[in-house]
Amino acid sequence: MRKAVILISGANGEIGHGLIRSLSEKGGLPIVTLDIDQLDSSLNSTVQDAIIGNILDRNLLQRLNAEFEISAIYHLAAVLSKRAEFSPMTAHDVNVGGTINMLDLAMEQATSRGKTVKFFFPSSIAVYGMGSGENKGNAGSITEDDFRSPETMYGCNKLYCENLGIYFSNHYKRLSAESSAGLIDFRAIRFPGLISAVTRPTGGTTDYGPEMIHAAAQSQPYVCFVRETTSLPFMTMPDAIRAIVKLMDSPPDSLSRSVYHIMAFSAAALQFKEKILSYFPEAEINFLVNDKRQSIVDSWPAEVDDSPARQDWGWKPKHDLDSAFDDYIIPEIRRRYAE
């Protein structure tokens, strides 16, 4: 008998940390994790099996397929936007090759059991390409279907994988005798910058927001690589986790699309600095613009219109900029660095 589980790839990353805790508290099927690194030991008691391995290792995926009955996959493994610009081929291998392997695993599982497998994919504001800083300023709050011309390898990978997920859900092998449509239930969220008080981001571009906060909490100086006036949408990690759980729990007929974008607040880098100074008055935060990294941030929107997510599955962030700091970031981060 295969063991009934849910599978989380890239589980040791920032989203994984929050998602594992949330899903294990919620109860339900045991969790199996897959990550290239060892899972943070503090999470061990919440998972049934923490497998160390590469999502590109097809032998390993075949073993998982034989051993487990997987009803949902949360495919979080990815090379983020900064690292991807230094190693585009590796990023493509991991982000695209890894995603199609996981979709294929989901399809094998669904076909062998004749049951739908749910698939969650974290996409990103990186799928957008605003064209210029001026367009970004003029565009205001954009819809999911606007400006889908990514300028980064990571953004190209995410946009393509969204389409792969939709293909596996709706049109897989459309010319073969047996239709496979509906065997995968693919759902994706394009996330804005995420801020966790318990983990530190690595390898991304939106990292300047959380990095600034973590540096201040540790009394370290921070040099921010974007202009003071640069704005991006953000949200706290607990809001992101709530969103994933809510979207995945929604009945299929309530969803008008497979891919939604969401945000909680749009903030300029200077607003982060001012907020941080109000809690850590000694914090040393300076701005030294890195034009290349600035150009990536300028290609991402300052705001997204998330009304489809609000209407279809009741998305509503708990934290705006003020409550993000007051109720989550500051208390948690103080606790974290006091330990």
CB of 204 to ligand SER, least distance (A): 3
Q: Indicate the residue whose CB is closest to ligand SER.
A: 204
- Nearest CB to ligand SER, comparing residues 101 and 124: 124
12 to 51, 100, 121, 156, 172: CA distances (angstroms):
11, 20, 16, 24, 31
Contact 50, 273 (CB under 8 A): no
89 vs 338, which CB is nearer to ligand SER?
A: 89
Burial of 25 (0-12, 13-18, 19+ CB in 10 A): exposed
Indicate whether 127 belongs to the interface with ligand SER (CB under 6 A).
no
* Distance, CA of 157 to chain centre: 13
For ligand SER, what does the binding mask look like between residues 146 and 165, x meaning CB under 6 A? --------x-----------
- Strand, helix or coil for residue 215: helix
Residue closer to ligand SER by CB (options 110, 194) is 194
**Residues between 197 and 236 that touch ligand SER (CB under 6 A):** 204-206
Which amino acid is residue 153, in one-letter code?
M
Does 299 bind ligand SER (CB under 6 A)? Our answer is: no
Least distance (Å) between residue 156 CB and ligand SER: 13
User: What is the Cα gyration radius of the chain?
Assistant: 20
* Contacting ligand SER within 44-83 (CB under 6 A): 80-81
Whose Cβ is closer to ligand SER: residue 118's or residue 158's? 158
Q: Which is nearer to ligand SER, 107 or 126 (CB)?
A: 126
The backbone region for 147, taken as left when phi is positive above 0, alpha when psi lies in -120 to 50, beta otherwise, is: left
C-alpha distances (whole Å) from 182 to each of 115, 153, 205, 312 are 9, 30, 35, 20
- Within positions 106 to 125, which residues make up the interface with ligand SER, using CB under 6 A? 124
- Please tell me whether residue 27 adopts helix, strand or coil conformation: coil
Residue position matching structure tokens 């393509």: 160
Residue linked to tokens 């705001």 = 303
Q: Per the structure block, which two tokens stand in for 261?
A: 């974008």
Task: CB nearer to ligand SER: give 66 or 89.
Answer: 89
How many CA atoms lie less than 13 Å away from 162 in the CB half-sphere?
24
Task: Give the DSSP letter of residue 229.
Answer: T
| Residue from the set 126, 159, 232, 269 that interacts with ligand SER by CB under 6 A | 126
* Closer Cβ to ligand SER, 68 or 98, answer by number: 98
Least distance in Å: CB of 176 to ligand SER?
Answer: 35
Q: State the nearest-atom distance from the C-beta of 223 to ligand SER, in Å.
A: 18
Site residues, ligand SER (CB under 6 A): 80-81, 124, 126, 154, 191, 193, 204-206
